[in-house]
Amino acid sequence: MDMTILNVALPEISADLRPDAIGLLWMVDVYSLVVSGLLVTAAALADRWGRKRMLILGFAVFGLGSLAVLAAGSPAAVIAIRALLGAGGAMIMPSTLSMIRQLFTDPRERATALGVWATMAALGGALGPILGGALLEAFSWHAAFLVNAPVMALAIGFGLWLLPESRNPAPGRWDALGTALSIVGMVALVYAIKHFGKDGPHSTGALAAAAVAAVALTWFVRRCLNRPDPILEVRLFRGRAFTAGTLTALTTSVAVAATMLLMAQWLQLVMGYSPLEAGVRLLPEAVAAAVVSPLAPALAARIGARTVLAGGLAVSGAGFLVIFLGPQPLGYGTVALAATLVGAGMGSLAIASAVIMAGAPPEKSGSAAAIEETGYELGAALGVAVLGSVAAAIYRSGLPLGDLAGRGVTGTTADTVRESLGGALDVASRLGAPGAALADEARTAFTRSLEWASAAGGALMLLTAALVWWLTPRALDLAEVQH
């Protein structure tokens, strides 16, 4: 919820604090960089120190970071707060999954619990824009952060009351070098992915970060394989079902992160809805996910976990293809149908989580949780970078420089038009009457970019569905997978 609220609040933050382009970029990126860098370390620490303690500490850090916004009066302060929230998120996210693995020893109960967990994630992502739009209409952008504080206070209270403590009884020696390699490697990898998407394949900074990531992560994996007590149990990937579950989480995040962001912009900038109205119109995805996720375990028991895993990817892939293959011009009815199918397919994530967590013994649940959450983070970064680049290329092809010059739009103004739909509409508003045609042309180009990005996302999910079908054992039964 917090991540999607920020997307709605960014325009108001920019208008109030006037950050430069680099500052705005870091406001968006620093959260995922910190989360990605600390996930493995936080999960390994929780296994040793106590998963309940790490979860409660994460809630406290997240809540205090949200309250700190009251003192934020500069872009640097917002960036620092986002980094603190990232640290809290890295403590919370793997701890929730590993505790579910500990609390629910019966595989069927665990699968149901993970279905509820997946439902909450889907609802949070959908409610973020709605809640964010409502808060911004009534209050300042600070409310987008402050809304977390009472939620974290309740989480701390109920966590202290309800949750038992658990930890790995024999964690082994702490690997300081492995910790450093995981942090450096993951931060560099996510940074490289993001900047390849923003600056292109020839970005010097992205190339340097990719080289650092390759060296650090290769060293980290080799170190984990050669230690009896690694900070991350990468040997879990020897299990085909575990790999299939991780691949499902990664691919779903790749496709959904990019296309849903494009859909939100399309609803606001092409269809003319307010942020709140756009958020409400994206609800079909969350409703479908909320309905299917709790039912997924029972469905897997009836028709097989492999069928649900691969079938969920295929249904979501079909949903994205609906946008590409649907009636022209693209209308909200088509998008609503697509979002419903995508959400229904995402119900398979509950089974992906169950397969991942069941593939790890209880003492290694932190490693399994860190791997799954890293898959989500990497998938989101890859989706925005790769599918976002596809969308940007299609958008620019719909606004050739020659046509813009014929309208009197040249130089840096033409670059602004071709950079984003928001920039194009801003330029068009300053051109007077001739700007109406330019605005229509830009909206058409953006709609086409959404359609092609959705086609690419759909094709990726269908290909992954076939791969997951092949990887997952035919006879996999979550009720029989116990450690």
Dig out the tokens for 413 from the structure.
Answer: 């103004």
Cβ atoms of residues 86 and 190 within 8 Å:
no
What pLDDT, on a 0 to 100 scale, did the predictor assign at position 286?
Answer: 81
Among the listed residues 315, 365, 375, the one whose alpha carbon sits nearest the alpha carbon of residue 345: 315
- For residue 436, give the amino acid letter: A
Cβ atoms of residues 94 and 71 within 8 Å:
no
User: Cα(19)–Cα(10) distance, rounded to whole angstroms?
Assistant: 11
CA distances from 422 to 275, 416, 427 (A): 14, 9, 9
What pLDDT, on a 0 to 100 scale, did the predictor assign at position 483?
Answer: 41
Query: Under 8 Å CB-to-CB from 33, ≥6 apart: which residues?
Result: 86, 187, 190, 191
Cβ atoms of residues 347 and 114 within 8 Å:
no
Classify 2-165+231-395+447-480 by CATH class.
Answer: mainly alpha
* DSSP assigned state of 175: -
Query: Under 8 Å CB-to-CB from 132, ≥6 apart: which residues?
Result: 4, 5, 6, 7, 8, 9, 144, 275, 279
Ramachandran category for residue 408: left, alpha or beta (phi over 0 → left; psi -120 to 50 → alpha): left
What pLDDT, on a 0 to 100 scale, did the predictor assign at position 157?
Answer: 96
Among the listed residues 79, 72, 70, 66, the one whose alpha carbon sits nearest the alpha carbon of residue 22: 79
CA distances from 465 to 106, 244, 246, 261, 470 (A): 28, 9, 12, 23, 9
Tens digits of per-residue pLDDT, 212-240?
999 999 999 999 898 888 888 888 888 88
**HSE toward the beta carbon, residue 231, CA cutoff 13 A:** 24
CA distances from 233 to 11, 44, 49, 365 (A): 42, 10, 17, 9
For each successive 10 residues of the chain (483 residues), what is the average pLDDT?
A: 72 79 75 86 87 94 92 89 92 87 82 80 75 80 86 95 85 83 89 79 88 94 88 85 88 82 85 82 85 84 88 94 92 93 85 79 78 82 81 88 82 84 84 81 92 93 94 74 46
Would you call the peptide bond into 327 cis, given omega within 30 degrees of 0 as the criterion? no
* DSSP assigned state of 157: H
Tens digits of per-residue pLDDT, 384-436?
778 888 888 898 888 888 888 887 788 888 888 888 888 888 888 888 777 88
User: Cα(309)–Cα(473) distance, rounded to whole angstroms?
Assistant: 11
Among the listed residues 201, 148, 168, the one whose alpha carbon sits nearest the alpha carbon of residue 47: 168
Q: Where are the domains of the chain?
A: 2-165+231-395+447-480, 175-230
pTM, full prediction: 0.82
Query: Under 8 Å CB-to-CB from 393, ≥6 apart: which residues?
Result: none
User: Cα(381)–Cα(387) distance, rounded to whole angstroms?
Assistant: 10
- For residue 169, give the amino acid letter: P
Count of other CB atoms within 10 angstroms of residue 212: 17
User: Cα(378)–Cα(350) distance, rounded to whole angstroms?
Assistant: 19
Which residue shows structure tokens 């997951």?
A: 468
* DSSP assigned state of 165: P
Burial (CB count within 10 angstroms: exposed 0-12, middle 13-18, buried 19+), residue 198: middle
Largest CA distance in the chain: 73
User: Cα(89)–Cα(380) distance, rounded to whole angstroms?
Assistant: 15
